[in-house]
Amino acid sequence: MSVPFRVELDKIESNIIYENVRFTFSFHEGRFSLGMNGVAVFKDATTEYLFQDETVSSDIYTSYNIVTEPVNDGRGHGTLISIVSTSDSLPDLKQSFTFYDDSAYFTVMAELVSDSVVATNYIAPIVIKDKNIQNANPRWTHFLEVPFDNDGWVTFETRNLCQDGLSHEVGAFFTPDSGSGFIIGSLTHNIWKSAVEYESKMGKVDELKVYCGANTALTRDQSPHGTVRGNSVSSPVFFVGFYDNWKDGMREYAKTNTTFAPKRECVTNINPIGWNSWGSIQTDLNYENATATSNYIKENFQHIWQSENEPVYINLDSYWDNMNDDELRSFVRHCESNNQVAGVYFSPFVSWWDEEGMKNNYVAGTSYTYNDIRLKKADGTYYGNDIDGCFPLDVTHPATYSYFKTQIERLMNCGFKYIKLDFLVHGSLEGDFYDNSIKTGIEAYNYAMQKICDIVGDDVFINLSMAPLFPYNYANGRRLCCDTYYGIDETEYMMNSLTYGFWQSELYDWIDPDHIVVWGKDGNAGENEAVSRLISGIVTGGSFLTGDNFVSPAKNQDKAHQRYKKLFGNEKLIEVLKLAEPFEGQLSAHCEHAAETFTLERNNKTYIALMNYSALPKVRTLRLPYDECSVYNLISGEKFIAEKDCMTVLLKGKESVIFEINNENTGG
């Protein structure tokens, strides 16, 4: 087989030219450089790791050997470049770079190998210092920071290149709106927490570090990252890509993850549409209002939300245990008689007892108290309940397994076919684990999530609520954000996650914008806020669970029911939702916290959503895709012909709108 690379070797450096890539390794300095499309991207990069409490860099090794060979894996054909560095008293360092045919990305991994046991909690395959990273395209102006999880109302953040930044698992240097991007992120998530960190001044990146062993305020850890041991210790495989459109790069990064760990097997090919009790009913949940909600949806919305043979979801959230098992089974049967899927909620990795309760209550079927299975820190002390008000459990402990196995089997035996799992970040915390073969928080999380999947089975929809973004392969869906109700500030918060986290739809079958509330537990949602929150759920293109109290809404019940039927009974909006594609946020040069314009092109139609997160009115100019088009306002039902390439739209305070646009010249 012919391999499209050329190698130039001498005693000083090796130049490997692969399609549009020039990779250079210096035998004299132990450093590597990269050029793409004739432009230097970075030079004099090293690999470093922590060994015996000292940071070791690849440029202090004394001997280097380089080998190239063809590869053909789940990502395609390409060339693997392996550099093995040796030096007395140090483990061998193997750096692996894989370049793929006709690809905009390559992968990199670092491995420590020794006859004796190697122990480390930090490996950085790429470290660039002394301003040796070039802005290969001078239009890169921002860096995207991705949060580790969605707990505590964290957001995606954008930094300009006059600021330092740190992103979890993946980061991107990019240019809004659809400009070029430099994407870097981990592709394997079985052991390590990883990060991309940089320092910059005056629009230039001075230093860049891509590493595993991340331990930050946003990982919630109160203990150092676990130390990994073995005769061979490897970093994750990292993705490094260069794209004309950074959004394409983020999508390809996400898709490439699934070539290492496939998504969970799909349970449904249609959007999960329905209801969740936490939006408004919350602690007042009982058998009567749950079954009454099932009936209300059957009578008013089900024929719109799904076709005759497609079920809707009626989901009990926290406080489902207000019901006994007979009531739970009866509720499931009631939903099934209405051609609905019954869902339920569980937080498997935490305990909600107080300090005394932890010590005095035993895990059912075991001789352990909840305090016995509480997660310990590396220093032997216990984690407290300062993260979300609950105590994290040691997910490797057999009594923890007994606890969540008993509860999940109980719920599955009642017949539930959807389960929402919450407070999962607690299962990824670093600590001193009962199972001493497990050394890191992510390793423990993978262990426990696989156990849950084995208990639940393949035919139950698993949705993650507050959880790490990675790993993704244990669930059919994941919530994009923390709790979101009807307030316009909450809608903007949720739309931040869609603006910058749209690519998660490549990792999960159905991304989740949280319960769609248009009236509210207090009945204080304004009409414009309600419409904005509704649109936020439509443009997400994934899960769509309403959250209002349909049985006994607060305040003016007649007005509440009118709003429910007007908004949730809008057939045109539901048709757009069922396209099952997230809209793309359009960003201006200053990178808004959340985009105010979202677009989608499908079936020869263009859909444009305009959001106003302000209490003040805004005048927006809508750029149209055709010189002459029909414009249909999916909220008001108004339809008109636009004869120019733009139109002016006045949005009231907190008001949003969504348009369907057809080309009049094609008869659309």
pLDDT tens, 208-227?
A: 999 999 999 999 999 999 99
pLDDT top residue among 647 and 51? 51
Contacts of residues 280-284 at CB distance under 8 Å and 24 or more positions apart, as own/partner, are 280/517, 280/519, 280/520, 280/521, 280/547, 280/548, 280/549, 280/553, 281/521, 281/549, 282/317, 282/318, 282/319, 282/521, 283/318, 283/319, 284/319
| Angle at alpha carbon of residue 632, lines to 630 and 634, rounded to 5° | 165
Which residue, among 458, 499, 461, 462, has the nearest Cα to 480 in the 3D structure? 499
Per-residue pLDDT tens digits for 252-285 = 999 999 999 999 999 999 999 999 999 999 999 9
Judged against a pLDDT cut of 80, whether residue 565 lies above it is answered with: yes
Q: How many beta carbons lie within 10 A of that of residue 532, not counting itself? A: 28
| Spatial CA neighbour of 502 closest among 74, 178, 126, 208 | 178
Instruction: Output the pLDDT for position 204.
Output: 84
The mean pLDDT of the chain is 94
Strand 228-234, strand 63-73: pairing: unpaired
pLDDT of 5 reads: 46
pLDDT for 664 = 67
The encoded tokens of residue 165 equal 């930044």
Q: Tokens 């470049």 — which residue?
A: 81
Share of the chain above pLDDT 90, in %: 83
Distances (CA, A) of 538 to 251, 280, 305: 20, 20, 12
Task: Tell me the fold of 5-257.
Answer: Beta-galactosidase; Chain A, domain 5 (2.70.98)
- Between 148 and 310, where is the model more confident? 148
CATH code 3.20.20.70 for 347-479: yes
Distances (CA, A) of 418 to 129, 143, 295, 409, 585: 49, 37, 19, 13, 30
What mean pLDDT comes out for the span 440-460? 98
What 3-state class would DSSP assign to 431?
A: coil
DSSP letter string, 486-518: S-HHHHHHHHHHHHHHGGGGGTSSEEE---B-S
**Averaged pLDDT, 453-481:** 98
Parse the chain into domains and list their residue ranges: 5-257, 347-479, 584-666
Per residue in 18-54, pLDDT (tens digit) is 677 788 888 878 899 988 777 778 889 999 999 999 9
Residue 667 has pLDDT above 80, yes or no: no
Please give the Cα distance from 619 to 631 (Å, whole number): 18
pLDDT score of 153 more than 60: yes
Mean predicted confidence (pLDDT) in 401-416: 98
What is the 8-class DSSP label of residue 352?
-
Neighbours of 233 (CB within 10 A): 22
Mean pLDDT, to the nearest integer, of 283-302?
A: 98
Q: What is the pLDDT of residue 139?
A: 65
CATH of domain 584-666: 2.60.40.1180
pLDDT digits (tens, 9 = 90+) for 343-379: 999 999 999 999 999 999 999 999 999 999 999 999 9
Of 39, 37, 56, give the one whose Cα is nearest residue 47: 56
282, 319 Cβ separation under 8 angstroms: yes
Whether the Cβ atoms of residue 198 and residue 115 lie closer than 8 Å to each other: no
Q: Which of 111-125, 194-208, 386-400 has the lowest mean pLDDT?
A: 194-208
- Strand partners for 113: 92, 232
179 compared with 414, residue with greater pLDDT: 414
Q: Check whether 665 has a pLDDT greater than 70.
A: no
Query: Residue 586 forms beta bridges with which residues?
Result: 597
pLDDT higher than 80, residue 509: yes
pLDDT band at 668 (very low <50, low <70, confident <90, very high): very low
Average pLDDT on 321-339 reads: 98
For residue 27, the model assigns a pLDDT of: 81
Mean pLDDT is lowest, of 176-185, 418-427, 436-445, for 176-185
